[in-house]
Amino acid sequence: MNFELTDEQRAFADSLDSLLSSADTALVARAWAEGDHAPGLKLWERLAEQGLTMLATEATPVEVCLAFEALGRHAVPGPWVEAAAYLPTALGVEVEGIATVAVPPHAPRALDADVADTVYLAGPDGLTEATVGEKHGSVDLARHLFDVEAGGTAPEDAAFDLAVLATAAQLLGAGERVLADSVTYVKQRRQFGREIGSYQAIKHQLADVRIALDFARPLVYGAALDPTPRAVSAAKVMCGDAAYLASRTGLQVHGAIGYTQEFDLSIWINKIRALVTAWGTPAFHRARILDSLVEA
């Protein structure tokens, strides 16, 4: 199968990337992490005007993946998977304002419930409005998680799969950003009179990341064209592995500065670490792939 984006899809992706590139999203993410939601809410409004909140109901999963890859590449904070992927699919309509949802057992807490107009809890009988409880932190400081009322296990349905696929696309975008920043850094950093990017060991590490991301991308868009549970889980596993490899390699090539919270690289590294287990752990998705193969 030869899959290529249409001109309209490329134009959409380019316009979204242009908007986010001019928004200083690292500053937005840092403000969101500290509880200052104003810059993030302003960016939310701009993205909603671009149509991101209606993609799940008005477009195809391909456009959803394009949007979430851009959100991951620019580390945009907020409950985007919940409000722009899961809830519109579950409700069948675009969500008004900002909404979030807890979907136990794979997303047991509601992300950013403190800024949401509506907080839902998904269960075996559908969606209900939830009461927000205790706040919990995350390795990604811009992810604020909240307990909600206890509920039964939510089904793994089309809404769940689209949320998983959107998370996979975010991981792909975040991995691409870490790789791009790492390549830029190794061309500038010098040791022993040479750019460190000229050393074969570093070239090989970065090449491995490039290969991993390139192998993950077709799984994302393949799942977007045919979003079966097996395809969606495969995309999530591959994007999680590729993005995590990008984060580890990025940390290694940056050296000590990569460990500092003040350096922007940490925003993407911590986001990747959080998203790897969001909307189902790697173990869950690998088991789902295995079960589907055994059943076949």
- pTM for this structure? 0.95
Q: Which residues contact 178 (CB under 8 A, 6 or more apart)?
A: 243, 246, 247, 249, 250, 265, 268, 269, 272
> In the chain, what are the domain boundaries?
158-295
CATH number belonging to the domain at 158-295, selected among 1.20.140.10, 3.40.630.10, 2.40.50.100, 1.10.3210.10: 1.20.140.10
CA distance 284 to 267: 26
What's residue 1's pLDDT? 60
Distance CA 228, CA 140 (A): 29
Distances (CA, A) of 81 to 176, 187, 203, 247: 19, 35, 34, 21
Contact 132, 110 (CB under 8 A): yes
Amino acid 190: pLDDT: 66
CA–CA gap between residue 172 and residue 93 (Å, rounded):
27
The pLDDT profile of the chain, 296 residues, written as one tens digit per residue, is 677 899 999 999 999 999 999 999 999 999 999 999 999 999 999 999 999 999 999 999 999 999 999 999 999 999 999 999 999 999 999 998 999 999 999 999 999 999 999 999 999 989 999 989 999 999 999 999 999 987 778 889 999 999 999 999 999 999 999 999 999 988 887 677 677 666 788 899 999 999 999 999 999 999 999 999 999 999 999 999 999 999 999 999 988 777 788 889 999 999 999 999 999 999 999 999 999 999 86
Give the per-residue pLDDT at 197: 63
For 261, other C-beta atoms within 10 Å of its C-beta total: 11
Q: Which of 268, 283, 141 is nearest to 209 (CA)?
A: 268
